[in-house]
Amino acid sequence: MASIEIYDTTLRDGTQGLDFNLTAEDKVLIAKRLDLFGVDFIEGGWPGSNPKDMRFFELMKKERLVFARLAAFGSTRHRNNSPEDDPNIQALLAADTPVVTLFGKTWDLHVTTALGATLEQNLAMIEDSLAYLKAQGKYVIYDAEHFFDGYRANSDYALKTLEAAVRGGAERLVLCDTNGGNLPSFIAEKVAEVKDLFSVPVGIHAHNDCELAVANSLAGIQAGAIHVQGTMNGYGERCGNANLVSIIPNLVLKLGFEQPQDLAKLREISHYIDERANLQPNIRAAYVSDAAFAHKGGVHVSAVNKNPETYEHIKPELVGNHRRVLLSDLAGRANVLAKAGEYGEAIDSKDPNIKAIVDKMKELEHRGYSYEGAEASFQLMSKKVRGEYQPYFTLHGFNIAITRRDDDNRPVAEATIKVEVGGQLEHTAANGDGPVNALDAALRKALLRFYPSISELRLVDYKVRVLSGPETGTASLVRVLVDTTDGKDTWGTVGAHTDIINASYEALIDAIEYKLLKDQVKPQMQKQKV
């Protein structure tokens, strides 16, 4: 089947969402990525509404898009202005984009209440604004704001607003579920009706207030819409817009459309946009998240190892993702074997150590450990159970002191540590921003002359969770998860204890030992000459 036009409004509608913020320079970089990804239209912002969008359009005049067409967004003229004298319309022209998207009022309530105009005035505002921009050589898209609610309230008038848009020269009639409150059946019914009434192609723009934006968009497409508007990762005002990261693979893999977008880059562009906005990716997002193809239950993993179709609706590689086997107290032999395979370790399925590893993992998880985000710790534990582990050093104790002076509101943490490597004792100290940071610094300082490669380590994330149990308050069990990188790989480690420092120490030790194990550094077991 022919492709559906993809109209991306991440840079405009998406930035109206809570905690989603981009600089003008961020928007330029994202626009270039969206272009290479293959979207048809990129809505850059509302020129004249704020300095950031004005700067973005100025910056984009120096850029050349390969596939997409850049669109400026704005409203129809003010009821008391002609298009030639309307500041909003003139700002749209000044943006110098090939495409202009105008929104107008469809719902009579909004016309009389929000605009303070008569119904006839609104029809003239729609037609005049579109016709003027069309005469300036613009490709004009009309967004019929609140179309479905407006239709429900006054269907005759809602359709008259579309007639005015057609007379004005609209290239697309985009029906908007602006409040996100309609159901797919109603969306499909009205899209089909509009498609039959007008020769101008129909589009759909849905919001996610009922968590139906993707479903409503697909329903509109199946009813005849050839153009869909949305945002990457579903960002947008209130509960967000229709998520193009879900819509696009559904078009290709479920509905059979031949889309030009590169599905193999879907996860990459999804995460890139989160990174530019300084946000964590949605861990449970369809298609592109870490959880999308993650398997935890032993029965599931066993079946997936035999045939992935048993518990996966598509091949994860189609959308740039990959399968993950999670490790927990629900895991079985299949989980351990699959995880060992990921590490490149050959373990015979009949190896008696497999059951011992599973039993040990379940015992440790009962004590507060969790290996779902700490697979490096799991690999170390697995080697210990199989008798393949050699310690890189021996701890002979540490001490942490926190000092706060009356004239300084910032406490100072100092850690001292004594370790033994190959028969040699190293006793050192370091300051840090808090006790855990000080302990980490002291430990690395003590080990650095024996294992120089640990200088590459950098702590990426540190999470603490207080676990419920028989103890409460300050005596509660604490789980610490640490993410560490050496610039090439990133791995997670875990510690659990009633004391947060001990739990942190366990996670830090595993992070260092995994680095050495990964680099195939041999433990220094014999006493060395200085």
Q: So what's the pLDDT on residue 37?
A: 97
Domain limits, the chain: 5-276, 294-366, 394-518
CA–CA dist 462, 447 (Å, integer): 21
Q: Tell me what percent of the residues of the chain surpass a pLDDT of 70.
A: 90
Q: Over range 94-103, report the average pLDDT.
A: 98
Q: Residues of the chain with pLDDT > 90: what percent?
A: 64
The pLDDT of 83-102, averaged and rounded, is 97
In the block, tokens 């006839």 appear at: 120
Query: What local confidence, expressed as pLDDT, does residue 382 receive?
Result: 82
Q: How far apart are CA 249 and CA 230, in angstroms?
A: 14
pLDDT value at position 529? 42
pLDDT at res. 3: 96
Helix (H) or strand (E) holding 269: helix 266-276
User: If you write DSSP's letter for every residue of 129-160 in order, what string do you get?
Assistant: HHHHHHHTT-EEEEEEETHHHHHHH-HHHHHH
pLDDT tens for 426-443 read 999 999 888 888 999 999
When pLDDT is cut at 50, 70 and 90, the band that residue 200 belongs to is very high
Span 205-227, pLDDT tens digits? 999 999 999 999 999 999 999 99
- Given the candidates 3.30.160.270, 3.40.109.10, 3.40.50.11810, 3.40.640.10, the CATH classification of the domain at 394-518 is 3.30.160.270
Spatial distance between the Cα atoms of 226 and 73, rounded to a whole number of angstroms: 20
pLDDT at 528: 44
CB 188 within 8 A of CB 220: yes
How confident is the model at residue 279, as a pLDDT?
Answer: 84
Q: What are the pLDDT digits (tens) for 379-429?
A: 888 888 888 888 899 989 899 998 876 666 677 899 999 999 988 999 999
Is the pLDDT at 80 greater than 90? The verdict is yes
Q: How far apart are CA 407 and CA 154, in angstroms?
A: 70
Quick count: other Cβ atoms within 10 Å of Cβ 85? 11
| pTM as predicted | 0.70
Domain 5-276 sits in CATH at 3.20.20.70
**Matching fold, domains 5-276 and 394-518:** no
- What was the pLDDT predicted at 526? 44
Contacts of 58 (CB under 8 A, 6+ apart): none
Q: Cβ contacts of residue 254 below 8 Å, gap of 6+?
A: none
- The tokens describing 70, both together, are 């850049």
Confidence of residue 294 (pLDDT cuts 50, 70, 90): confident
Mean per-residue pLDDT, 294-322: 83
Average pLDDT score over the chain: 89
Backbone φ and ψ for 18, nearest 5 degrees, come out as: -60, 130
* pLDDT given for residue 389 in this prediction: 85
Per-residue pLDDT reduced to its tens digit, 41-78: 999 999 988 899 999 999 999 999 999 999 999 999 99
Q: pLDDT digit string (tens) for 449-483?
A: 999 999 999 888 888 888 755 554 445 788 898 98
- Tell me the residue type at 503: A
C-alpha span between 304 and 298 (Å, rounded): 10
Q: Is 297 exposed, middle or buried (0-12, 13-18, 19+ CB in 10 A)?
A: middle
Q: Which helix (H) or strand (E) holds 105?
A: strand 99-105
The predicted model gives 172-186 an average pLDDT of: 98
Q: What is the DSSP letter of 191?
A: H
Confidence check: pLDDT of 229 > 80: yes
